[in-house]
Amino acid sequence: MTLYCLNPACPYPDNPNTHNYCQGCGQDLSQTTQGYLFRDRYLIKQVLGEGNFGRTYLIEDQNFHNRKRVLKKFIANFQGQHLETAKELFKREANILDTLKHEQIPAIYDHFEDNNSLYLVEEYIEGEDLVTEFNRDGTFSEEKIKSLLEDILPVLDYLHQRNLLHRDIKPDNIMRRRYDGKLILIDFGGVKEVSKTRGTLIYTPGYASVEQMTGHPQPASDIYSLGVTCVRLLTGCFPENSHENDPIYDSSQAVWVWQDFLEKHEIKISDKLSHVLNKMLEHLLQNRYHNVQEILEDLKDFPTYIQPVEPPDNLSNSEPQKYSHYNLVSLIKQQQILFFTTCFSSGVIIVWIIKYLVYPSSPTWLLLREEILNYAALISLLVFLVSLVIWLITIQKKKKKEKPQKAMTATSVQNAPIPKQIPSSPHSVTSSQIKQSSPKSSTPQKITTVNKPNKKIISSLEYFNFEVLKVDRQGKIIEQKNSKNQYFTVDLGNNINLEMVVIPGGSFFMGSPKQEGRDRTQERPQHKVKLVSFCMSKYPITQAQWEIIMKNNPSQFKGKNKPVDKVSFYDSLEFCEKLSEAVGINFYLPSEAQWEYACRSIINPSKYKQLDGIEIYPPFHFGDTISQTLANYNSTRTYQQETIGIYRQQTTEVGFFPPNEFGLYDMHGNVWEWCGDDWHETYENAPEDGRIWLDGNNKHSPMRGGSWAAFPFYCRCATRSKVQRNCRSKYNGFRIVYNFKKKT
C-alpha cells in the first residue's frame, strides 16, 4: 500500500506507507493524503486517473458551495521552445473547449498556468465510463450498440460542424451520466481543428485510422474510432499493448474480422447493424461514411434502446406479468408441476387404452403386469381429473384477474364544459370511450370499476388564488400578476388532502421548434392538439398521499410534503387503481399531450402565433429560462443568460416554488413525472385529441419535466425522456389526472 500526495505540484506523489513526509514535495503526508487546498480555491479530494500527458483530480470548488469539478493537470516532459509550444497548444485547446456548449460535452470553467504546469477545470460527470460498464455487465447487445451510436453521433456532428476533431474516441472516453443515462463524450485533450497540414500525432493504438496515425485526421477518422469502439464492446476484445495479437483485426491484411469472431462465438446481430459498422470501419477514407448524417440516416429504421437510469429496486420478476395479457404459454410456465403431472397421468391412461386395444384377452405372462397397469391407470385417471379441475379453476381466476386488464385504456377526455360541481355519475369514463389495447400494445391504464363517488371525501369546486411570474433571458422578473383557478379536494384522511386543479380545454402546438430543441427529433414534428377540460393534481403526488393509499414509502428523500420518488410506472398505476377504488372516481396518469398542455399553461395563444400559423411558445412556463429561485434543478449550468445557481442534490417540498398560469406547481424540476403513453421516437402520426398514445414501445414510457438533478435544458416543457417502465429511481415521481364528465 502506498500513500498518495494530492499536491498537484508534487513530482513524485507515490510514497511508501512507512513515510511521514512526501518524498516529492516534503509535505506532511497525514495532511496531503486527506485533501489539498490548491490556489486557495480548489480542494483536491482524490486522483481520478493518470496518463502519459496529464493527471486528473476530483476537486471541490470553494467559491461555488464546494461544487464538484475535475482538475486536469497537463504534464509536459520537455523544456525550452518545445515547452513554450506545448503551452500555446494547451491554451488554444482550452479556448476551443470554452466555445463548446453541448449537454453531452463537459463544460470548462477555468484554465491557468501554475508553477510551470498547465491546468484545466472542467465539469464533473457523475457516472461511469463504458469500460467500467463493460466490466460489470459484459459484452454489449445489439440494442445497446444502437443506443450508443444514436447518443454519440449527434455529439460528433456538433464537433464536425464546427470544424473540430476529437481524435481519441474509445470506451474510456465515453461516460454514462448516472442521473439520466445519457452518454457523455469526455477527454478533449486532443481536440484539433481540421487542417490539411500534418498535425501532432495523438491517437490510441487499436482505435485510430491509418490517416490519423500518419498525422492527417479527418471527420471520418472520428467515425472510424467510434466504429472500433462499438465492435470492441460487442466482442469484448480490447487492444493489448501490441496490436499484432488483436483477435478481431488482421494487421497483415489491414482488415477487421470481428464478424468472424461473433460467428465463432455464436453471437448474432442484424445485417443492418453489420453494414453500418463495416462502413464505419473501412480502411480507405473514401470508402467510409463521410459524415454523421449518413450514419443517422441508415440507423433510422432501428428501434432505440436506453440504459435504465438506475437498476430496478426490489422489483419482483412477476410484477410485469401482473399487467401483461393472459396467455396459455405464461400460464404453463407458472404451473410447471401441474403441467407435467397432467402430461404424465395422461400418458399412463393412453398406454392402458392401447394395451387393451392390442391385447383384449391377456396371455399368462402379462397378468402380473396387467394388474400393476390397471392400478396405475386408475390412480392416473384420478390424478388427471384432479389436475383438470385445478386447470379450470386456475384459468377462471386468471380470466377474472385479466378482465379489468382488458379495460385498461388510453382514455379520451370528455367533450364537456367545466361543471359547477364534481359529477355524481357512477363512471367518469364510459365503456364506449375506452380504447382497447392491441396485442402489440403495452400496459394501458387500468379502469377500476366503482359504484359511485364518495361525496363525503370529495369537495365541490372552489377557487384558489396564486401569483404568476414571468422572466426574461437573464432570469429577471418582467411580469408579476395575481390569478385564480378552480379545484376540488379529495380528503384522504389523517388531515391529508389531494387537490385537483381544473385545466380548461383548448388547443396548442405540441413539441419544440428547431431553435429550441437542437437536434432532438423526438420532440418533433410540432403538431396541433385539441384537448377538452380535465383535472390534474396541483402537485406531484407527495409521500404523505402515497403512504395513506399504499401503506409504504419507497422514497430516497424522506419528507411528508416532498414528492414520492423511486416509483416505477407500474407502481404509479397501482396507486391510481387503489385511489380510484377508495374515492369512487377514476384517476389516471396523464397523457403526454395533457402533461405538456398543462405545463405550458398558455392562456392567450394568439400572441405566440407566427406568420405560418404555427405557435412558438417559450421553453418554460416562466418564460425564456428558469433560475434557482423558480425551480429545483441543477442550476450549475445555465440555459440562457441567467446567473449560475446552486445544486440542492435532493427533492424539495411541493409548492415551494411559484406555479404556472393554471396554478400547477413543480412542473419544472423536482421529479421526473410518468405519462401513460407508450414510447414513440417522434411525433409522427401522433393523436390530435390529447388521448394516451399506445401501439408503441411497450417496455418504456415517456417521463416529463426534469428533476432535481437535471440541467435546465432537460426541464423544458417539451423535453421527453425515455425510461424503462420497471425503473425505480430517486429521480422518478408522478402526478395524476381525472377526466371528468358532466352530470346528466
Active site residues: 168
3-state secondary structure of 701: strand
| CA–CA gap between residue 327 and residue 553 (Å, rounded) | 33
Task: Look up residue 634 and give its three cell numbers.
Answer: 441543477
| CA–CA gap between residue 68 and residue 45 (Å, rounded) | 10
Residue pair 669/622 in contact by the 8 Å Cβ criterion:
no
Residue pair 676/444 in contact by the 8 Å Cβ criterion:
yes
DSSP 338: H
Task: Look up residue 9 and give its three cell numbers.
Answer: 505540484
Query: What separation in angstroms does the CA of 200 have from each of 114, 189, 283, 527, 644?
Result: 24, 12, 21, 49, 37
| CA–CA gap between residue 580 and residue 448 (Å, rounded) | 6
Residue pair 25/10 in contact by the 8 Å Cβ criterion:
yes
Amino acid letter, 630: L
**Which residue is listed with cell 466504429?**
227
Longest CA–CA separation in the chain, Å: 111
**Which residue is listed with cell 487542417?**
195
- The torsion angles phi and psi of 434, rounded to 5 degrees, stand at -90, 125
CA 717 from chain centre, in angstroms, equals 17
**Which residue is listed with cell 467500467?**
132
Residue 434, sorted as left (phi over 0), alpha (psi -120 to 50) or beta, turns out to be beta
**Which candidate, 297, 286, 274, places its Cα nearest to that of 227?**
274
- Residues 6 or more apart whose CB falls under 8 angstroms from that of 46 comprise 6, 57, 58
Interhelix angle for 219-235 vs 130-137, to 10°? 20
E strand intervals along 332-442: none
SS (H, E, C) 91-156: HHHHHHHHHCCCCCCCCEEEEEEECCEEEEEEECCCEEEHHHHHHHHCCCCHHHHHHHHHHHHHHH
DSSP 591: P
Integer Rg of the chain from CA: 31
Task: Look up residue 397 and give its three cell numbers.
Answer: 381466476
**Which candidate, 639, 617, 631, places its Cα nearest to that of 667?**
631
Q: Is 274 exposed, middle or buried (0-12, 13-18, 19+ CB in 10 A)?
A: middle
| CA–CA gap between residue 13 and residue 370 (Å, rounded) | 88
3-state secondary structure of 138: coil
Residue 663, sorted as left (phi over 0), alpha (psi -120 to 50) or beta, turns out to be left
3-state secondary structure of 724: strand
Q: Is 30 exposed, middle or buried (0-12, 13-18, 19+ CB in 10 A)?
A: exposed
Residue pair 679/696 in contact by the 8 Å Cβ criterion:
yes
| CA–CA gap between residue 314 and residue 366 (Å, rounded) | 59
Task: Look up residue 309 and give its three cell numbers.
Answer: 437510469
Residue 430's CB is within 10 A of a number of other CB atoms, namely 12
